[in-house]
Structure 1
């Protein structure tokens, strides 16, 4: 299976703090890949780097064979150079569902979905995708005219995912989709993620603190500590790894 996303030796800094340290990883087309790690380990920073929201100190990121972010040395000074802006990266087929959902609370569900399709010019296609989202998330269809602030946390998460899907992405990046939600709601959202992957052939890169749920939902997994990838294996193998079980599964 071909690599859709390739991250090669990237680093990101915040002042004197190295948030990411020479990270290399890949996501194959059609897979669900997860990244687990403690709070502050750099997981969200990695997702932001992929969509061009954090500049790279070194390394490069390639999506479907095209470099979307890289660092080039300028006269030996290592000047930062970002190839594509975030909106152009999104137009290539990557959608990010950020941590905390970040919905437009004063807008209706339908208006939020319209925002997800801001780069789509075909109105018929936008309406078609909205109806598909209402079928996929029936609660959103029932509440399409409601202000988003009136939705529960789980409903807002569903809407954030639906908003991302409105752009028709080839890959969706999910940052802590289960954060702060009840176990039954989390299970429902992860079931939807599996359907998005299998039915719509959308590649999924999942960042999640619920390590057990993430590893069960994915085919491959990475473990990040202090901005570095310290483990990479099949998710089933990571579930049996003694270090992972002790550090992340509470065993």
Structure 2
């Protein structure tokens, strides 16, 4: 399997607080990989680091064989190595983030939000085609394309946030707590869409989710984070049976 995203020994700090401590992990192309852990364990910080929103103080991040973030520049054989691409350039490489809490533009319409997701796309025909594809994929968005986003339910806003991210045509989509604050039936619908995005659209998925059972059932591989460190990594089916995971995250 080809590693699409490689995170190598990264560290992130907020002053004296070590948010991420020597985190290493990978996401293979075509997979759904999940990261579970308690609130405040560093999951969202990791996603922000991947897209260049949090600077590294150690390690590096590689996407499709190209280094996109490094803690500091180094000279190797007289050549300067290491850089930190800006968030827009990382997005242009094919990474899209759906942030925690959705972060939709509430006073814009659904269609205007989707247009914002395509800000890197220059071809108007491609933008139009992708919007229609999103309306087909999320029919409720098509029915409400002219409505202000603030009028949508939480689940509908989450669908719109995912659709907005897909407008850039990503190879890798990062999902931060897509089930947060939603009813169980709505969460099930969202996760069904995530599976379709992966299998039908061939988009690799890195899923951060506090609902550990749902995340592990939806993914192929899983990581467990505690206090900014990766403490477990295995195939998701094995983590579902792991006594430590069952006791700490599955309520058993």
**Into which bin does the TM-score normalised by the smaller protein fall?**
over 0.9
**What are the equivalent positions in structure 2 for 1:1-251 lying under 5 Å apart?**
1-72=1-72, 82-251=83-252
Name the CA distance, whole Å, in 1 between partners of 2:242 and 2:174. 25
Aligned to 2:78: none
The secondary structure found in structure 2 opposite 1:162 is helix
TM-score (norm 1): 0.97
Structure 1 143/84 Cα, relative in aligned 2: closer, same or farther at 3 Å? Answer: same
**Distance (whole Å) between structure 2 residues aligned to residue 65 and residue 229 of structure 1:** 22
| Separation (CA, whole Å) in 1 of partners of 2:195 and 2:206 | 12
- Secondary structure of the 1:112 match is helix
**SS of structure 2 residue aligned to 1:52:** coil
Structure 2 length-normalised TM: 0.96
In the alignment, structure 1 segments of 5+ residues that lack a partner are 76-80
* Alignment partners' CA distance in 2, 1:52 and 1:17: 19
| Counterpart Cα distance in 2 of 1:82 and 1:153 | 38
CA deviation map 1:52-80 (0-9, x unaligned): 000000100000000000023669xxxxx
Secondary structure in 2 matching 1:131: helix
The CA deviation at 1:234 is 0.2
Gaps of 5+ in 2: 76-81
Partners of 2:74 and 2:214 lie apart in 1 by 44
8 Å Cα contact 1:9-1:60 kept in structure 2: yes
1:197 Cα deviation after fit: 0.1
* 1:198-237 superposed Cα distances (whole Å, 9 cap, x missing partner): 0000000000000000000000000000000000000000
Query: Distance between the aligned counterparts of 1:11 and 1:64, measured in 2?
Result: 21
Q: CA deviation at 1:82?
A: 4.2
- Distance apart, 1:83 and its partner CA: 2.4
Tell me, in whole angstroms, the C-alpha distance in 1 between the residues paired with 2:238 and 2:165. 31
Aligned mates of 2:56, 2:245 — CA distance in 1: 29
SS in 1 for 2:200: helix
Deviations 1:120-145 (A, max 9, x none): 00000000000000000000000000
Contact 2:57-2:72 within 8 A present in 1 as well: no
Structure 1 vs Structure 2 CA RMSD: 1.0
